[in-house]
Amino acid sequence: MIMVLKRTLDNLSFSIIKRLERSRIIRRVKSLLTPSFNKLIEGLYLLALLILLGGSVNAALEGLRIRAPQAIIFVSSTVQSIGETIINIFTLILGTASIYFIYRGSRFLSSRRLTNFYLFAGAMGLLIALAIEFYLFGYKH
């Protein structure tokens, strides 16, 4: 009796699993959860681009020559510290996310309130990123 019940439950679970695998929802979830090789390469490319745009090469070459380890930002315009590189990368990410929010706000969404929120958040983030960069430029000159 127990073997028949076990076999019936196994067959039922097997048929449910097969139906779920054939459904579109499970295929979409699987495609989202399994990152492809191209997406991995794109992510590594964007990471390398952010690191290079942040000035990590300048910080590695010039920032190690100056003997002021406690300074986050050096006054000289030719020298960049590791802390300044991190600040630059942060402002790049903030500015990029803000541009994306402005883009999302320009598209029609389900509610006008959400559209206005995206536009406002994008504009504020862009202003904050610009203020940080202008402060750095003003401090270095």
Same domain? 24 vs 59: no
Q: What is the pLDDT of residues 42-60, one digit of tens each?
A: 888 888 888 888 888 877 7
pTM score of the predicted model? 0.65
Query: Which two structure tokens, joined as six digits, stand for 136?
Result: 């750095």
Same domain? 62 vs 116: yes
Distance CA 46, CA 34 (A): 19
Best CA proximity match to 136, nearest among 80, 93, 52:
80
User: What does pLDDT average to over the chain?
Assistant: 81
Task: Provide the strand spans (E) within 45-109.
Answer: none
pLDDT of res. 66: 65
pLDDT of res. 136: 87
Same domain? 11 vs 68: no
Count of structural domains within the chain: 2
> Does residue 39 belong to any structural domain of this protein?
no
